[in-house]
Amino acid sequence: MKRWLAAIGLCTVVLPPLPAGAQDGAVNVAATVGMIGDIARTVGGTCVSVTTIMGPGVDPHLYKASARDVRTFQNADAILYSGYSLEGQLGDVLERLARMKPTVAVAEASIGRDELIAVQGAYGVDPHVWMDASLWARTVPTIAGRLAELAPDCAASIDANASTYGAQLAALHDWVKASIASIPEEQRVLVTAHDAFSYYGRAYGIEVAGIQGISTESEAGVADIRRMADIVAERGVPALFVESTINPRTIQAVIDAVRQRGQDVAVGGQLYSDAMGEEGSAGGTYIGMIYENTRHVVTALGGRPAPIPDALRSWAETWRVAAGERVPAGGSVQ
């Protein structure tokens, strides 16, 4: 154990061993973020036990592994993470772990760099690929394939679950696009605390403006606040949005600056950016994360969310979301 801890460079504390493997013979998977953990849990079903390292409200850009995380990684049969520098300081640890057990950077394995948004600075590319449901859907077969290798007796059910989930994400993508299109074009501007929504903007046709950059390692300055206040005032943007993983003070500073310019602006709601919502809630699922974000954005900016498509009916019924508001089988989102 000491050698293992030293090898990954996390800590020097000797921890008591935990029983290897998951309960009832399920494959024990450690996922860094909820967006990955939710896919593994959904497609793996009862064949997989998933532990998510970074829960609701946790910023992966700033995250540092704890002794508890060491134990989780040590006892996992496989580790799934996004890659493209999303996990920040944890990235080097995950690369070392790849030499010891099955470890997959699912975004890097599924989405080519030519499809990513290039950015300035250390990141090189924007890692927030899950904001485009059609792009994030490409990680589903990658995760399903690895789980099927680890649980071959469950391969058929994993494949079936992956197929169903893939259809749901395709429907989600179409629903978001139709909902965003309902916003008056001049008000189709999404202002958030940091640049986590560029893929969302590209995929769904909405201009995105973040006060901070891709990473949250440095705070927004006075010039950033003034620049954003000018944009909001000039465009007549009716609402700004806070994020669940970022202190809302930068958004409040922009609101104050806009009001000093003689224009009123509201907080349109809290969006999930780098983490999903609480476990046991609709927002604690990937579909719910994108769904709730979109409802907040569309409603606050003067649009109207489209009816829920039939492919998402089972998800909506499970979470009691917009009961009865769906497109009939064979219909299309208008």
**Residue environment code for 39-75, b if the CB has 16+ CB neighbours within 10 A, otherwise e:** bbbbbbeebbbbbbbbebebbbbebebeeebbebbbb
**What's the fold here for domain 2-173?**
Rossmann fold (3.40.50)
Beta strands 78-81 and 48-54: pairing type?
unpaired
DSSP class of 46: G
In CATH terms, are 2-173 and 181-318 the same topology?
yes
- Residues 73-122 have pLDDT tens digits of 989 999 999 999 898 878 778 888 888 999 999 999 999 999 999 988 77
Residue found under tokens 């060491």: 70
Q: Which residue has the higher pLDDT, 217 or 34?
A: 34
Q: Which residue has the higher pLDDT, 242 or 117?
A: 117
Confidence of residue 10 (pLDDT cuts 50, 70, 90): very low
Task: Describe the crossing of helices 34-44 and 155-180 by its angle, rounded to 10 degrees.
Answer: 130
Domain locations in the chain as residue ranges: 2-173, 181-318
- Residues 209-224 have pLDDT tens digits of 887 754 444 465 788 8
Q: Is 154 helix (H, G, I), strand (E, B) or coil?
A: helix
CATH architecture assignment, domain 181-318: 3-Layer(aba) Sandwich (3.40)
Distance of alpha carbon 158 from alpha carbon 145, whole angstroms: 8
CB 319 within 8 A of CB 276: no
Instruction: Check residue 227 and give its pLDDT.
Output: 87
- The arithmetic mean of pLDDT across residues 145-165, rounded, is 97
Total-model pTM: 0.86
Q: Is the pLDDT of residue 11 over 50?
A: no
Of 107, 108, 53, residue with least CA distance to 76 = 53
